[in-house]
Amino acid sequence: MFFTITLYLSLAIFIIGTVYRIWTWFKISVGPDATNFSVRERLSAALKGLIKTLFSRRFFLLLKVLILDVILQVQILKNNFVRWLMHICIFGGFMLLLLMHALDGPVTQTLFSDYASTLNPFFFLRNLFGAMVVLGLSIAVYRRITLKGLRLTTNTVDIYAIVILTVIMISGFLLESMQIISAPIFDEMVMDYADLEDPEEIKPLKIYWAEEYGVCFPDVSDSPPPELFEEGEQLHDESCVDCHSRPDWAFISYPLSRGIKPLAWIINKARADVWLWYVHFLACFIGLAYLPFSKFFHIISSPISLMVNSVTDVTDKIVTDPANMATRRAMELDACTHCGTCTLHCSVAPVFRNMLNSNIFPSEKIISIKALVAGKEVAPEVLQSFQEGSFICTSCYRCTTLCPVGINLQDIWFSSREDLVARGLPEPHVWAKEAGRTKWAAIIKDYDTPLIPDSKHLNLSSQADTFSACFECQTCTNVCPVVANYENPAEVLDMTPHQIMHSLGLGLTGIALGSRMIWDCVTCYLCQEHCPQKVRVTDILYELKNLAYGRLRSAELQDKTEKNADETQVGVT
């Protein structure tokens, strides 16, 4: 009764949780354009797109993706064999255990009429699939501990999922090993299936099972008479052989049973196998109920993401309906496995060494976006960190191209940027340009005083000191498309590129930092390519932009600190 109640309870939680997670795909909005569609409109558009796909040639493309990318996980194999092995072992092994072992009634018995959990090859396969999961978990833990140069965030949800899965596997192997040596289980089987009632008739069978199957009986000696062993073998052939194979095929559970054999008397007397049975199945039920709320929900969301993105054709107005695009972004947030592939290949990830902003990494930005779209209260400094990390993206599309679950990360970045602007948080360079007009004079007290006496303080560009070779030929200014855009560039831009180089050569870095030219630069590299002195003009302008932004942010933080201190002082007074 307890087993049935907990099973149906966990199954109900699993179904409700899964439906809720899928429902959020139609409710959550990533990007201002997503707010233009109601949940009903997004559901309707998704249904139309699904029908359109199923009754078209794209259906065969879905089957191809299902086999190659979902089941065989070819995309992950192309990127990293170790990660592929980890995924195949964990998800493949667990799904096979689920079908063959947990659902043995409706699945395995239907496929194999002679199925019994104690027969081979099922004995062997159960241990094999369990060993696959253990191997996959071991690889996952090893990668988390040893992998350098890649940020892998392990949150509480991840820990819970790993703990539950570990308890399931360990308790499963221990349970089977205890059942192998259990005398009470042998007595129950004899009572239920063998036509033997007299203890003296059962004794030869016990002798045989103690020797061949490793069962520990308190009343069986270590050196029984040979004739009783032969009699027991005959009884076994008559009553047991059809349902029981030798347990040594269980290549993990059987050696484990030999290891715990010295404790057999205590285990059998306390019926530890029964208690462990409850632990194992409760862990399975908890894992089932927890799955929609854990990282393992990817076994549902990631395959859907792969298949949806495989049939997204920009020429099909139904499939690429803006309402469907809004739903896809929300679904892809759930599909992200936080594997770190995008971060590992991100073109701007090295900037983290200078900015120490984790939101530079694509995999970390996904976490921040999830918090934002979920409506959680986000501290201003966290929001600013996400803003800076989001806008530093160079749109190289590496992350989207290499994502093993097919997420269109670039679309998510663009949409989240628009969300930030809608929240009143403009792009950092826009903010800095506007803030510079009002704050820069207060930050730079005296433009004529060199703030940086020599070029060694400009460290980001590869050859920052090359501006000293500038002889003001004005080639950089003449080829600059930004300068050419204005009739009076000096009035709009403050300084032209060659004037900035000349200021730096004189040590007047403050004047250069205050120029609006550094914010309007489009990094086309024409100035740098045409410079006869090989001055790295664009690199230097880029560095000045970063330096100016850092000073403006520091000044803003100082203003906030002083304001809070003043407010605190007033409150105390």
Domains and CATH numbers, the chain: 336-425 (no CATH), 440-572 (1.10.1060)
Q: Which residue has the tokens 């409506």?
A: 375
Rounded Cα gap, residues 220 and 222, in angstroms: 7
Token pair listed for 393? 């993206």
Cβ(276)–Cβ(175) under 8 Å?
yes
Q: Give the Cα separation of 28 and 6 in Å (integer).
A: 32
Of 10, 30, 13, the residue nearest 334 (C-alpha): 30
Q: How far is CA 513 from the centre of its chain?
A: 40
Q: For residues 346 and 398, is the Cβ–Cβ distance under 8 A? A: yes
SS3 of 444-460:
CCCCCCCCCCCHHHCCC
pLDDT at residue 19, rounded to an integer = 94
- The answer to whether residues 305 and 333 touch, using CB atoms and an 8 Å cutoff, is no
CA distance 35 to 42: 11
452-490 exposure pattern, b = at least 16 Cβ within 10 A, e = fewer:
beebeebeebeebebbeebeeeebbbebbebbeeeeebe
Tally of CB atoms within 10 A around 507: 14
d(CA 391, CA 449): 33
As a whole number of Å, the end-to-end CA separation of the chain is 68
Name the amino acid, one letter, at 481: P
Judge if pTM exceeds 0.85: no
Distances (CA, A) of 486 to 141, 331, 494, 523: 58, 45, 12, 17
Q: Please state, in angstroms and rounded to a whole number, the distance separating the CA atoms of residues 36 and 415.
A: 13
| Tens of pLDDT, residue by residue, the chain (573 residues) | 777 888 889 999 999 999 999 999 998 888 888 888 899 999 998 898 888 888 888 888 889 988 988 888 888 888 788 888 998 998 889 888 888 888 888 888 888 888 888 888 888 999 999 999 999 988 888 877 776 655 555 667 667 777 888 899 999 999 999 999 998 988 888 887 777 777 777 888 888 888 888 888 887 777 777 888 888 888 888 888 888 888 888 899 999 999 998 888 898 888 998 999 999 989 988 888 988 888 778 888 988 888 888 877 655 555 567 888 889 988 998 888 887 788 888 888 777 776 778 888 888 888 888 888 877 777 777 777 888 788 777 778 888 888 888 888 888 888 888 888 777 777 666 666 665 555 555 555 444 444 443 444 444 444 445 566 677 788 999 999 999 988 888 788 888 988 888 887 777 777 787 788 888 888 888 998 888 888 888 888 887 887 777 777 776 666 666 666 666 655 555
Buried b (16+ CB within 10 A) or exposed e, 235-252: bbeebbeeebbebbbbeb
Structure tokens that stand for 215 in this block: 């069962």
Contact 177/260 with Cβ under 8 angstroms?
yes
Q: Which residues contact 143 (CB under 8 A, 6 or more apart)?
A: 82, 83, 86, 152
With contact defined as beta carbons under 8 Å apart, do 413 and 439 qualify?
no
Q: Residue type for 194, please?
A: A
Give dist(CA 318, CA 284) in Å, integer: 41
Q: Report the distance separating Cα 534 and Cα 532, nearest Å.
A: 6
DSSP 347: T
d(CA 259, CA 262): 7
Look-up of token digits 């360990």: 170
Phi-psi bin for 391: left (phi > 0), alpha (psi -120 to 50), beta? alpha
Peptide bond into 255 cis (omega under 30): no
Q: Which residue has the tokens 């940027």?
A: 417
335 burial level (CB within 10 Å; 0-12, 13-18, 19+) = buried
CA–CA distance, 297 with 69 (Å, rounded to integer):
17
DSSP reduced 3-state for 56? coil
Q: Which residues contact 191 (CB under 8 A, 6 or more apart)?
A: none
Q: Which long-range contacts (CB under 8 A, 24 or more apart) does 569-572 make?
A: none
Model pLDDT, residue 128? 94
CB of 451 within 8 A of CB of 513? yes
User: What pLDDT was estimated at residue 465?
Assistant: 54
Token couple for 136 = 């996959």
DSSP 115: -
Sign of CA dihedral 175, 181, 186, 188: negative
Phi and psi for 472 in degrees, rounded to 5? 60, 45
**Which residue type, as a one-letter code, is found at position 405?**
V
414, 372 in Cβ contact below 8 A? no
> How far, in Å, CA of 258 to CA of 221, rounded?
17
> Which tokens is 339 given?
């594997």
Secondary structure (H, E, C), 375-405: CCCCCHHHHHHHHHHHHCCCCCCHHHHHCCC
